[in-house]
Structure 1
Amino acid sequence: MKKKFLQMQFFTFLTILLFGTACNGPVKEDLPKEKEHPKLIKTIGNPRYGSINCSMQDKAGNLWFGTTENGLYKYDGKSFRQFLVADGLNSNSINDILEDKDGKIWIGTKDGVCLYDGKTFAKIQITLPKNLPPNKNKFYQTHSVSDIMQDKAGKLWFVTIDGVYVYDGKTFTLFLINEAANGFLTSNDKVERILEDNAGNIWFGGRTNEGVYRYDGKSITNLKLKDLFQDGPKPKAHNWGWPQLQDEDGNIWFSNWGGAYRYDGKSFTIFTLSGGVMRIIEDKKGNLWLGGDGGLRRYDGKSFSRFTTKDGLATPWLWSILEDKTGNIWIGTRETGLYLYDGKTFITYSEFKH
């Protein structure tokens, strides 16, 4: 009898224990904590200063981000690695990144060119012509490289504050068009962006030029935006353009402080937007993404959708846009901000630490 009573007590205690556990749920301390995704950590300078200026995905799938003042970051999907002057760069301010056909990575910086072979950085010296006039702008007394492109023939083009140079794998040659001592597109012309279209034409543009320039391999044609608008001449304001891309329909897109411009081979169509446009890309679905000081816009060929700080971006100033191989859109902003847009929300991938 006593044994039976003890058994009843034990089962009653066990029932209470199980019921209490089910009600209260598992002890949270025993569960593994959710891992936070890695972030690009800014450590140098004022948190409000600087930008992510450029971005690229290499053939191996790594993402690269060039910044103002905080060097170059490589993201392999698991962690970010930061490269600085201490690692071999000639400057911590990065303007452009390009992976060439051989898998080498070229970095355009505030102070010139660096080449990364996967292990080390080499500083590349562009020898300037002796008769090249000095840049008189006191704010540009460096050898800054703003854009790098590899053409269909394999030659590399470097847009610098000291002119445009073509590299054939051995030597750098100043891009000359005529017999004048300094040729065309010297430092005083301030070309800043370069683009090769599907036909092999090379386009140039910058803020102190009138219109845009097209080089067909033999001669230069100056296209003045104000003379080639679909609906007639436009005001002179911002009569220059950065060449951005050629879309899947063959149109060439340019941008400036006034908006975006589409060239169909005959005339320009203007898309006036609130604020300037610094970057345009085309995604795999054919949508255009435009970023500038007015936030992020997506153009589906008919209308624009706008994303601003209300959608999760900390600043409307965008300098870099990249679509990765999985279709995610990466946004680089002022204040060295990095965001991933997965089609629904913006996820912050950057942080400032002292």
Structure 2
Amino acid sequence: MKKTSKMIYLIVLLFLKLSCIKYPSNDKVNNSKVINERIEIKSSISLINQTIWVIHQDNHSNFWFGSKENGVFFYDGKIIKNYTMKDGLVSNDIRGIQEDSKGNIYFDTGLGVSKFDGQIFNTLPIVNPDLPTNDWVLQQNDLWFRIGFNKNGVYRFDGESLHYLKFPKSPQEDTFYKINSNTSLQPYGLYTIYKDRKGFMWFGTSSLGFFRYDGKSFSWHYENQLQTTPSGGDFGSRAIFEDKEGMFWINNSHFRYNIMPISNLNLNFKKEKGIGYKNENNQIEYPFFLSITEDDEGNLWMLTYESNIWKYNGKELIKYPIKNGEKEVMLYTIYKDNKGVLWLGTFDNGVYKFNGSSFDKLF
């Protein structure tokens, strides 16, 4: 329980710090002007930043590691290169990396989205930077971006421009403000975006649960056991994942969800028992995870902030402690590459790679 309280404290402290960053106004950053910066051949470096938020392998098998404040690090298996605002990135704080069908790489930051075509960085223009609209559509090749955490909305990229969309009202909103009448917290703050196998989009918020958009309607779901840790901390909706059986895992391992074909304002589902583990007091606990993936054998890997990876093989949870010597490593993301190898991005200890039995520090 003490570790869980520590985790929640550190996460809240991190996001409070981020919310205090002074960003330029939208008309300075997100206007229709496209910034073009031609990239010169860069000399390689030997190390990457130790705070890695996100990992992505492109369709040419190159790796991209997004850092907190030092831009993105490119790794082709031999050399490492670092790209920053000096090279055309809109910000050095990289919170998401995606790739389109043409091989263009997109970097999501709190100040906008940068597109890299292999030669130049472009800052994507926003059609409506100041006021979000309700013009929601769902296209197969669209990409979705956060551009920060403290807004009531999301950005859809149609291949040419970003469209700032307002979230539909949550059934939980009135209750939230009744309990937290004097709060400055944005309850719709966007923590995660997930695309399921049907192409439907899922959005996890800071305090109102999550909702699904199927191209026609929105379906919300809030559940106290998903949002609140055993110690009473507000975890938010940070991770959503559909496993090989089409079941959804959300925030923790207590339950898994079978989503029904038809839903209305409230998501229609059947809830099944998940998997837990016995702690040192012989009590059952269910880990809250920041990130989750599935390996090529169908095992689920759940990453917690508190230095642990949990592997679920369909029968039990197996713990993989992550340490650098005697030091416990705070974790942030788990990623499966094109060959099925697992990678970890950490809060302050670089990048780790799975060797088949344990995770080794690579950078």
Q: Which has the higher Rg, Structure 1 or Structure 2?
A: 1
Contact 1:275 1:293 in 2 (8 A): no
Which residue of the partner structure matches residue 280 of structure 1?
292
Deviation at 1:77, TM superposition (A): 0.9
Q: How does 1:103-252 map to 2 (within 5 A)?
A: 103-131=103-131, 153-161=140-148, 162=151, 163-176=153-166, 189-209=188-208, 211-226=209-224, 238=234, 240-252=236-248
Partner residue, 1:41? 47
Question: Corresponding residue for 2:71?
Answer: 71
Q: Give the SS at the match of 2:47.
A: strand
TM-score normalised according to structure 2 size: 0.67
Distance 1:88 1:174, change over 3 A: closer
In structure 2, runs of 5+ residues without a counterpart are 1-43, 170-185, 260-268, 277-284
Structure 1 residue 250, shift from structure 2 partner:
0.3
Partner-residue secondary structure (3-state), 2:296: coil
Aligned 8 A contact 2:125 2:162 in 1: no
1:192-230: CA deviations, max 9, x gaps? 211122223221112122x221112122111222499xx
Shift of 1:240: 4.3
- Percent identity between matched residues is 30
- CA offsets, 1:294-314, max 9 Å, x none? 311111121111111458695
Using the TM superposition, give the Cα deviation of residue 172 of structure 1 relative to its aligned residue in structure 2, in angstroms. 2.5
Identify if the C-alpha distance between structure 1 residues 314 and 239 changes in structure 2 by more than 3 Å, giving closer, same or farther: closer
1:251-290 correspondence to structure 2 within 5 Å: 251-255=247-251, 261-265=255-259, 266-268=269-271, 269=273, 273=285, 276-290=288-302
Tell me, in whole angstroms, the C-alpha distance in 1 between the residues paired with 2:225 and 2:342. 35
CA offset at residue 62 of structure 1? Answer: 0.8
CA pair 91-240 structure 1, distance change in 2 beyond 3 A: closer
Evaluate the alpha carbon distance shift between residue 61 and residue 270 of structure 1 in structure 2; reply closer, same or farther with a 3 A threshold: same
> How many residues matched?
276
SS at match of 2:256: strand
Task: Name the Cα RMSD after superposition.
Answer: 3.3
Q: CA deviation at 1:126?
A: 2.5
**CA distance 1:178–1:329, shift in 2 (3 Å):** closer
The answer to whether the Cα contact below 8 Å between 1:311 and 1:346 also exists between their aligned partners in 2 is no
The code of the aligned residue for 2:346 comes to T
- SS in structure 2 at match of 1:86: helix
Structure 1 residues without counterparts, runs of 5 or longer: 1-37, 44-49, 134-150, 180-186, 229-233
| Alignment check: 8 A CA contact 1:51 1:67 kept | yes
CA distance change for structure 1 residues 308 and 199 in 2, over 3 Å: closer, same or farther? same
Quick one: which amino acid aligns to residue 221 of structure 2? L
Supply the AA of the counterpart residue of 1:216.
D
Aligned match of 2:303: 291
CA shift in 2, pair 1:259/1:110, >3 Å: farther
1:88 to 1:310, Cα distance in 2 relative to 1, 3 A: closer
SS in 2 for 1:267: strand
Q: CA deviation at 1:65?
A: 0.8
**Superposed counterparts of 1:28-107, under 5 Å:** 41-42=47-48, 51-107=51-107
C-alpha separation in 1, matches of 2:305 and 2:46 = 22
Structure 2 letter corresponding to 1:323: K
The one of 318, 333, 336 equivalent to 1:305 is 318
1:259 is displaced (CA, Å) by 5.7
Q: Please say if residues 287 and 298 of structure 1, whose CA atoms lie closer than 8 Å, have aligned partners that are also in contact.
A: yes
Deviation of 1:57 after TM superposition, in Å, equals 0.9
Q: Which amino acid aligns with 1:282?
A: E
Are the structure 2 counterparts of residues 241 and 55 from structure 1 closer, same or farther at C-alpha, using a change threshold of 3 Å? same
